[in-house]
Amino acid sequence: MKTHSHLPEQGFALLEILMAMALFSIVAVGMTKALDQIAQTTKRSRQEAQVLRVLESVLAEVAHQPELKPRSVTFPKTADGIDASAAIEKVRLFTQDKVELNSMFRVRAEAWLAEGSKHSLKRQMETYVYSPNSP
């Protein structure tokens, strides 16, 4: 007469459950870290797009004034927390034939997202503007 013991099978099932739970935990931690990294990258991309939109807007607003004069302009902080400024300066530009181009100005704009006391995301753009009505 043979007797069958079920204890080794039950022990093996418990070991399988523990192994499965350990594997699931490792995968879950990895997925959580990956999702967090994706969220941070998405947030940073969105912030950079916002800063660039503000920068383009500031540059366009300053460059399209009917009359330019050397000065600095500071813009109010946007609802998204983005600060911006622009500097206008008269420049002397010459053609290849050494002829000076009159009434030329360089407009340099900066926009940044401030986090605490540092500028965590800062971008700059500049353009040259011909402004014949300017002094």
Q: Does residue 6 have a pLDDT over 80? A: no
More confident residue, 8 or 90: 90
For residue 117, name the pLDDT band (cuts at 50, 70, 90).
low
Q: How many CB atoms lie within 10 A of CB 134?
A: 18
Predicted TM-score (pTM) of this structure? 0.71
Residue owning tokens 């009159």: 102
Cα–Cα distance for residue pair 71/78, rounded to 1 Å:
22
Domain boundaries, the chain: 7-130
Please, are residues 95 and 117 in contact by the beta-carbon 8 Å criterion? no
